[in-house]
């Protein structure tokens, strides 16, 4: 997880992720809320919730279920 910070530069606040500036905004409260929202979204993506009906996946097998760039072979589609 990255370290987020809010730095004041002149009349604006800059949101930083590590050493990289990612957002410039006029309100410190709004900047803090955006950082909180971003952290929650990233945390929710990092740990997907599996239902008990989901089959266990073999970590050695790559999954293509969520990859939109991989299309099925047209000859195999019914």
The answer to whether residue 67 sits within a structural domain is no
* pLDDT tens-digit map of 38-75: 888 888 876 665 566 666 666 665 554 555 555 555 55
The answer to whether residue 52 sits within a structural domain is no
The residues, ordered by sequence, that sit 6+ positions from 6 with a Cβ below 8 Å of its Cβ are 13, 14, 15, 16, 28, 31, 32, 35
Alpha-carbon distance 62 to 65, whole Å? 9
The count of structural domains within the chain is 1
Residue 13 near residue 24 (C-beta atoms within 8 A): yes
The answer to whether residue 24 sits within a structural domain is yes
C-alpha closest to that of 54 among 67, 63, 45: 63
pLDDT recorded at residue 10: 92
Alpha-carbon distance 76 to 72, whole Å? 7
What is the overall mean pLDDT for the chain?
Answer: 75
For residue 57, give the DSSP letter.
P
């Amino acid at each position: 997880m990255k370290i987020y910070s809010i730095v004041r530069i002149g009349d604006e606040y800059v949101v930083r992720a590590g050493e990289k500036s990612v957002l410039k905004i006029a309100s410190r409260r709004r900047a803090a809320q955006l950082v909180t929202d971003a952290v929650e979204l990233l945390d929710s993506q990092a740990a997907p919730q599996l239902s008990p009906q989901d089959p266990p996946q073999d970590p050695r097998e790559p999954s293509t279920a969520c990859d939109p760039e991989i299309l099925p072979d047209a000859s195999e589609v019914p």
